[in-house]
Structure 1
């Protein structure tokens, strides 16, 4: 099924709005779930109440147990399944969620500053650039991968309740206050595909308009006056949500099984990563040619007529399961085997008749959890945490799970950078300053809510919009 969405797809940090909500969002407080079967790190399996598929409920963070690593990965998988359910209109539930632009009533994001995870002033191709590196992932067909982000109703309610779309309210807000339990945000990576691929049943597919690229003054830029309707296949998906005891959010990521190969242990530059073709990898490509970012290179060219870029990106997943491939024990904070067990169990469940998986949801069996990451201790979030390492100020292990967690389609180019090699390297609570060229905007103090880039963007966007309004009024 190829549902239709008319708004041009935008990349980067997009989150929800203060709008009227339809029933398909689900209740503000999720229905009470049946108690989870006891989770076990020696045998982490899918929950019985994940069958039938359509009965899966949003995991209630108020009932969350943090006794085992399995609990965190189960929460991630249950959230993924719930988000992928039909919303009653033929679309996965999450596609009905809002973006942060909606919260501020913004229609044209091109007039705004780039997302905070990027450096410098406004850049061309912002809809295609990856967080942290301004990298652009170019598929084998020369098409860029697009990104979009969503937040749930609980996120919207929290922002509106505290009037946090007003930057002055943010400045007066208690920095120790965290997001409410069940607040969540999501980010998707989309690959343009042809109709045959869209009809194959291998991917979650949406039909959506995307902005075209043009060559202008020696640069490749987005032309917001030109768009085209495309079939888009989901290739990557981030989930982040607050549960009891974990205001830092559980950060989990999912990928399509055919995206890219895992890099073998003891890899050398000339090591061939795989002898088969993948969606973003050509058979027999050596490791030295993987994950090269051409976005800021003169080598990157655009053919406007075909809307294709060159060269393409060869993608390799540097850390299978978000960790060093040699790490397989339960005693350390990486829990690779827990993730593998739960993936196998969940995918097996979806393949059974009791799952009653609708025919138009068979593509679910092609996605898997790479890993998740969270704090080892409960209620450990504080303002001004840089989270630059996996340890706290006393040298004790702070982070647990996928300590090198990256999505090969969302963080393609940061997989080996120690300053960006897991979610918390960028998502932290330290003070934030506006991008270069916008020094007239007030910085954002260190606060617990800074764990969300969507929240931070809203803070700076509100200032920018008000300054532009004042400037326009002064000229009248």
Structure 2
């Protein structure tokens, strides 16, 4: 566990210094382990449930019987969901057996780029993207390779869409605007790094995959479906959105690998060196002003098709450690502090328990979660981005999935983009999508407009 950024500042904890090799082949770093963790847990206000462990027995998170009576309950749900989704089923994390959007639509064009090496014939293909949503940014790792993305839908989500025939654009457009997804529906998005030869991946979940290569076409970088490469992928991020009782907007939580990127100090200026250590997506000594730059529309963005390497490399920094701005003068600082404290407490407890199981999942942590103060505020065709509606991690971003939107006020939390407003098409010849509660899912929105192309 890398505690230099994950566990500083909120509690005074003694540490025993140790040294670990950075898992993605960067530099060594000094880190530490909490002493007397058992006694520490007793003092925490937000506690990991005992029945979550061992992880192979973690129960499914509550959906119909969710009791959202405290901030802690939402983060407990988020961690339980992560443990359950990554629980080994037939030798693989459970989430890999979920439906893909491409399979749901019966259209391989909805997801092309990353195809898993099948371990059983019933397993659907993974769907991927290489462009980050909303920015067309390409997260480029320290080796010059693009990060890839895949999406997953649980059976409740898939059955609801199938039963109502919502892959049909006409039926989606005429669907009852006030009908939300049912309790239990889950939508996931994962981010994957391509592993290089001789990289130490012992601290990552990895899987073999066939990756569709990138190509230069008409001044743009695109997927070339005719060319593929056999690679190993390392999981670096996971979004979890789940519909629970009383919250039709879903709980939106996100998790990352410990070694992804450093946290930006609250008082940082453009000249501040964010970290003196190497991270998976950050080079030691990089200043804050050089972090999270998106050259998507710049001539500096280049792809070498032969090596599949991109320039420039992205230097990633996590702007808000737990998805909240400590300098925020508008929102309730007491609530923010409690939210961040609860995440901190659960991260320490769960990771300690997983280490006793020698689990690779002990190397992942919750960045944060966001939801509505009142689920009945969730309505079709109304703005969901008003901070008066929201609570939890109000500026929540995953450093590997929303790298380039962390500082954009219009896209700096899940509900800025995932909302129920009327959706306007990317081309004037297409028909807009009315405001619906199910518009919260980009999978349905994207499928609607792609059907018109």
| TM-score using structure 1 length | 0.79
Query: What corresponds to 1:325 in structure 2?
Result: 326
Counterpart selection for 2:341 from 337, 340, 345: 337
Structure 1 position 347 matched with structure 2 position 336: no
Structure 1 position 271 matched with structure 2 position 272: yes
Give the match's secondary structure for 2:231. Answer: strand
Q: Distance in 1 between matches of 2:211 and 2:53?
A: 36
The superposition leaves residues 56-112 of structure 1 with CA deviations (integer Å, 9 ceiling, x where unpaired) of 122121110111111101111111111111121x2211112122221221123389x
Counterpart selection for 1:456 from 441, 445, 448: 445
> Does the Cα contact within 8 Å between 1:104 and 1:462 map onto a contact in 2?
no
Counterpart selection for 2:432 from 436, 443, 457: 443
Q: Distance in 2 between matches of 1:163 and 1:463?
A: 16
Query: What corresponds to 2:39 in structure 1?
Result: none
Query: What corresponds to 1:78 in structure 2?
Result: 80
Structure 1 position 297 matched with structure 2 position 298: yes
Query: What corresponds to 1:413 in structure 2?
Result: 404
1:37-116 superposed matches below 5 A: 43-88=45-90, 90-109=91-110
Query: What corresponds to 1:404 in structure 2?
Result: 395
Query: What corresponds to 2:423 in structure 1?
Result: 432
> Does the Cα contact within 8 Å between 2:201 and 2:234 map onto a contact in 1?
no
Query: What corresponds to 1:472 in structure 2?
Result: none
Displacement of 1:331? 3.7
> Does the Cα contact within 8 Å between 2:336 and 2:392 map onto a contact in 1?
no
Structure 1 position 379 matched with structure 2 position 376: yes
Shift in alpha-carbon separation, 1:171–1:340, aligned structure 2, 3 A: same
Displacement of 1:459? 2.4
Q: Distance in 2 between matches of 1:91 and 1:312?
A: 31
Shift in alpha-carbon separation, 1:221–1:162, aligned structure 2, 3 A: closer
Query: What corresponds to 1:307 in structure 2?
Result: 308
1:186-265 superposed matches below 5 A: 186-197=188-199, 200-265=201-266
Larger deviation: 255-264 or 378-387? 378-387
> Does the Cα contact within 8 Å between 1:261 and 1:317 map onto a contact in 2?
yes
Higher strand share: 2
Q: Distance in 2 between matches of 1:318 and 1:375?
A: 23
Q: Distance in 2 between matches of 1:109 and 1:452?
A: 15
Q: Distance in 2 between matches of 1:110 and 1:363?
A: 28
> Does the Cα contact within 8 Å between 1:41 and 1:69 map onto a contact in 2?
no
> Does the Cα contact within 8 Å between 2:207 and 2:234 map onto a contact in 1?
yes
Query: What corresponds to 2:34 in structure 1?
Result: none
Give the match's secondary structure for 1:220. Answer: strand
Larger deviation: 44-53 or 93-102? 93-102
Query: What corresponds to 1:114 in structure 2?
Result: none
Q: Distance in 2 between matches of 1:336 and 1:329?
A: 10
Q: Distance in 2 between matches of 1:255 and 1:42?
A: 23
Give the match's secondary structure for 1:351. Answer: helix
The superposition leaves residues 438-468 of structure 1 with CA deviations (integer Å, 9 ceiling, x where unpaired) of x33321111111111112122233444xxxx
> Does the Cα contact within 8 Å between 1:41 and 1:338 map onto a contact in 2?
no
Shift in alpha-carbon separation, 1:445–1:218, aligned structure 2, 3 A: closer
Q: Distance in 2 between matches of 1:253 and 1:415?
A: 14
Query: What corresponds to 1:143 in structure 2?
Result: 145
Between the two structures, name the one with larger relative contact order (CA 8 Å, sep ≥ 6).
Answer: 1
Q: Distance in 2 between matches of 1:451 and 1:185?
A: 10
Give the match's secondary structure for 1:209. Answer: strand
> Does the Cα contact within 8 Å between 1:142 and 1:309 map onto a contact in 2?
yes
Q: Distance in 1 between matches of 2:262 and 2:223?
A: 31
Structure 2 portions without partners, runs of 5+: 1-41, 113-127
Displacement of 1:43? 0.6
Query: What corresponds to 1:473 in structure 2?
Result: none
Query: What corresponds to 1:121 in structure 2?
Result: none
Displacement of 1:264? 0.3
Larger deviation: 367-376 or 167-176? 167-176
The superposition leaves residues 294-346 of structure 1 with CA deviations (integer Å, 9 ceiling, x where unpaired) of 12211111222211111100000011100113579644586111110111111
Shift in alpha-carbon separation, 1:379–1:167, aligned structure 2, 3 A: same
Counterpart selection for 2:160 from 158, 161, 164: 158
Shift in alpha-carbon separation, 1:110–1:65, aligned structure 2, 3 A: closer
Give the match's secondary structure for 1:250. Answer: strand
| TM-score using structure 2 length | 0.83
> Does the Cα contact within 8 Å between 1:300 and 1:310 map onto a contact in 2?
yes
